[in-house]
Chains A and B, each alone.
Chain A
Amino acid sequence: MNVSTAVFYLIAAVAIGSALMVAFSRNIIYSAFSLLGTFMGVAGIYVFLGADFVAAVQVLIYVGGILVLILFAVMLTHRITDVEITNRAAGRIPALIIIAVLVYMLIESVTETPWVKAKEVVYAATAWKIGDLFLDTYLLPFELASLVLLAAMIGAVVISRKEIKE
């Protein structure tokens, strides 16, 4: 086993182990911080797939934005001193059965399908290709995305502000 394979196994183990912590931890602070491991592991998987720009975007937006937002929400909605029951879970046994059946079916179908592979897998810088596609083929969705982000920003401000009584 060479070094890159070992690194791949390590990254996959970090991503899946952190996701296990998110799903099973009793304390919501631990769950929120485990999300960091999952996001960084997924970014590493993107690097293995030759998607450097998507990996950078993952680190910037997920780790730098969404995770900080989630941590802020946790801190704002909980009294940090009573940490025992911050992350209640219900109906674990039926959910575990459903998830076991689902993961068995998914892995079985993935491994049994004869995937057609590209003749040669290329590793090249992707940023310029993505920029071209955004300003050419995907111009309308790109502009719509900026509108969606503006609407989400205004909506978040309107929903979360305090009502001012006259």
Chain B
Amino acid sequence: MPEPTSVIHDIGYQRYDGPRLGRRHIFGSLYLHGLRTAFGLGRSAKAKIFPWLIVGIMTLVAVVFIAIRAYTGQVAATYAQFAGGMSWLVIFFVAIVAPELVSRDLHSGVLPLYFSRLMRRTDYPLAKLAALITAVWLLLGGPQLLMFTGAAFSVDDGMAGVWQELLDLVPGLLYAGVWALVFAAVSLLVASLTGKRAFAAGGIVAVFLMTMPVVGVLSILPVQAVNQLAGLAAPSSLVEGVGVWVFRRWVVDEGGPDIDIGSFGPLYGAVVLALVAGCLLLLFARYRKVSSS
């Protein structure tokens, strides 16, 4: 058959001989893709509703704190207390976002496309975990920055006041990092077990909420050491324990309710590290097994 003699605006297939980047670029791209996915960017409007609803609530709380401080001069909550106080919202955030990051990939069968490319099997869970940690940290840290900006404008003693404020902000951001680390690791591991997002979300909420009564029971037993160790039984109280140990000045109000961890602070710290490392190892094991075709 005769070929068409002219083709309009079709320059034909172009071979590519530009740069092909390696492992770091691929890891970085997957991380960035995960971070965007966490906040629904590049996806449908429906996917944006939930994450931004939580961002909205947190921002609102931060704005209320700023207003209280501006009008009354009272500090309603330190940065670290803000991070701790918002933890229940973080549970819902990771319960929605962790399944978006990993359960969706399991369900749609996209993993073979990753693992038949240059990606290493350990890089996939690492990049996703890094993305979720960052997302949670931004969620908790963003409003703190807002509060800091508000405070910087309302302090009376100029730069010295701002500097003092910054010294309060840093522990808050670090404490937010501990929350992000623990919540991301645990929720991602749970989500990686199933391709069904609803099950994954339920599982995550269950792990975080069902462990709390255990802490409650242990903390009223008539043995002081058990009471002091009770916090280890649930992720939230574990992080609170670390907060009390490391950031006591910022987390615990003078004369207010206290969490008694006795001298077990370092143990709380060690358990956090062990928990995160354990989750990561289990994630590696999980993705070694996932079918690649």
Real complex partners, A and B? Answer: no
Chain B residues near A (Cβ < 8 Å): none
